[in-house]
Amino acid sequence: MSHERLSLQHTFDTGFPFLAFFIGYHFFDVGVGSAVALAAACLIAVFRVRRGERIVAVALGVVAVAVSAALAIWAGEGRTFFAPGVLVNVIGLIVTLTSLLARRPVTGIVGKYLKREGADWYKSERRYRVHQRITWFWVALWVWHLGVLIPLYAYDNVAALAFVTTFILKPSVPLWLIISLMWGARTRKADAQADAARLANDHADSAGGHA
């Protein structure tokens, strides 16, 4: 299965418990909604393990839902179930902006970890500029998410929070990931072609000088 398909499947897997929570919350209460969400997360976890996904990643998904459920029950408010999601977006915004200020765009660091970039990628002006733009692309994502989530959270609109989280915000993350991967691959190919053309021209000039 391709990374793109896995990302889309993962989005459904992580988004569905939010919808399940709202259904239980709407027809019953916070406790039932939390239980339904956790049950949905556990059921999805079984299918994810059977698909061959890493147990650690699957377990983290269940833990994330469990934390959301516990917070919602503790606060007695449906909207609190979505508080961890808001926090994740805040952290994402801080990380991306901080990496830009430190002149080490985080997408370049991730690219190095995935062996898509060299160890000294940031020393290449072209690669640095590419990852600067891609990281700003992610900044825009976090700002968009927070711009939607914070007002809905403030107005305690649980139905809207569940809908946008499940069908809009969660799917946007793998979309951003796919675009970022394609962006990086396309620019790496263009850079390689430019380097090859420059070397060919240098070789031709050198050969002409010796003629």
Summarised one tens digit per residue, pLDDT across range 9-30 is 766 777 899 999 999 999 999 9
Using an 8 Å Cβ cutoff, are 30 and 201 in contact? no
Please count the structural domains in the chain: 1
Q: Comparing 210 with 174, which gets the higher pLDDT?
A: 174
Summarised one tens digit per residue, pLDDT across range 62-111 is 999 999 999 999 999 999 999 999 999 999 999 999 999 999 999 999 99
Note the pTM of the prediction, 2 decimals. Answer: 0.86
DSSP E strand stretches across the chain:
none
Using an 8 Å Cβ cutoff, are 128 and 122 in contact? yes
Task: Identify the helix (H) or strand (E) that includes residue 3.
Answer: helix 3-27
Full residue range of the structural domain in which residue 8 is found: 3-210
pLDDT given at position 109: 95
pLDDT given at position 8: 61
pLDDT given at position 195: 57
